[in-house]
Homo-oligomer: A and B are copies of this chain.
Amino acid sequence: MADYVYGPGRNHLFVPGPVNIPDQVIRAMSRQNEDYRSPAVPALTKTLLEDVKQIFKTTTGTPFLFPTTGTGAWESALTNTLSPGDKIVSFLIGQFSLLWIDQQQRLNFNVDVVESDWGYGADLAALDYKLRQDPSHSIKAICIVHNETATGVTNDLSAVRKILDKHRHPALLLVDGVSSICALDFRMDEWGVDVALTGSQKALSLPTGLGIVCASPKALEASKTAKSVRVFFDWKDYLKFYKMGTYWPYTPSIQLLYGLRAALDLIFEEGLENVIKRHNRLGTATRLAVEAWGLKNCTQKEEWFSDTVTAVVVPPYIDSAEIVKHAWKRYNLSLGLGLNKVAGKVFRIGHLGHLNELQLMGALSGVEMVLKDIGYPVKLGSGVAAAAAYLSNSTPLIPSRI
């Protein structure tokens, strides 16, 4: 079957998810179905559940590999730990935190929304205030997106933990790590995160289809009394099958299990810390290019800069959607649209997952050409030069090739 919109050469995929899949993973997934009740699949699953904890930096957490997306992982995190009517504090800083809050409301929680302007991080002063005002511990959970994919804002989770600890507040800390985990520094145990979650198509660089949820012992305990209705997303069924050693209450995707195995192997081969450093290099290089182009980062303060996605603000006389369209139509470059409040105002460069310096340089060069084509007075080569000046000083040799 032909592709619908064939263009010569590779697609340059720079949306902030789904991201580029390593060929090794595509190969590992190009396989037949298997009987998931044979001894082979549980044996594989066991290694996955053990190893996936490393990307959460947890030794005490219990992971669940749901056949779902990030939206499903959200639902699993919420319904297993909370009961209808529970009061939760939730930060609205962009489209994805907005969608999660929408879900929280539809699941009938009592959501105290703390809103920031888009481009700003979570208002932690408000959190501090709210916890102080809650000596009775009526707040059952804090919900926060680690990295808001719509604006390129990374929240400071260790600061959240400090505030909770300061008030000795027992609220659960539920974290959307969809565009952070396995790319940004994330420390489940150290930061006392109770539920963390991600999706396979983000920094893990797999196809969509796994919603990976990791629960702290405290979250597991909470799940025993949480009254939210749940079946498909219920941890209890998984825990029962974990105990039996067969692991799956219903049929998993054999292909995604082998894919996850391959993805983890590659991450461990590179080293998780090196993966995180690589994302920092790519993020920094992108920001330097944006600056050289004379454009603004949607993210308003350096402390929130995201190493997985950069939302670039365009001048008022340009429609950012035109940039995204043109990039795709002429250069086979896939950029992210501005969403909701920033629709038309920003475009996004995703720089997460299986990606290296020269792939990014090709994309940055493409953005420059698009900007010029679209009428923005960019100096061709300026962004690439700024990125290159940084990268040529900071890119390490590939260890296996030294």
Contact = CB atoms under 8 A, between A and B. Distances in A.
A11 B269 CA distance: 17
Interface in A238-295: 249-256, 258, 261-262, 265-266, 269-270, 275, 278
A158 to B, nearest CB: 27
Nearest to A261: B1
A114 interface: no
Nearest to A31: B23
A27 B28 CA distance: 7
Interface string A61-81: 000000111111011000000
A316 interface: no
Interface in A362-390: 362-363, 365-366, 368-369, 372-373, 379-382, 384-386, 388-389
A387 to B, nearest CB: 8
Contacts of A386: 381
A111 to B, nearest CB: 13
Interface in A147-202: 199, 201
Interface in A1-47: 1-13, 15, 17-21, 23-24, 26-40, 43-44
A331 B355 contact: no
A401 B234 CA distance: 33
A13 B26 contact: no
A137 interface: no
Nearest to A104: B231
A387 B30 CA distance: 33
Contacts of A110: none
B8 A354 contact: yes
Given A2-B265, A32-B20, A331 B357 contact: yes
Interface stretch (A120-128, A298-306, A332-340): A332-340
A229 B361 contact: no
A392 B363 contact: no
Interface of A: 1-13, 15, 17-21, 23-24, 26-40, 43-44, 67-72, 74-75, 84, 102-103, 106-108, 199, 201, 207-209, 228-234, 249-256, 258, 261-262, 265-266, 269-270, 275, 278, 328-334, 336-337, 354-363, 365-366, 368-369, 372-373, 379-382, 384-386, 388-389, 391-392, 395-398, 400-402
7 contacts: A3-B40, A27-B27, A29-B29, A38-B334, A70-B250, A106-B231, A207-B255
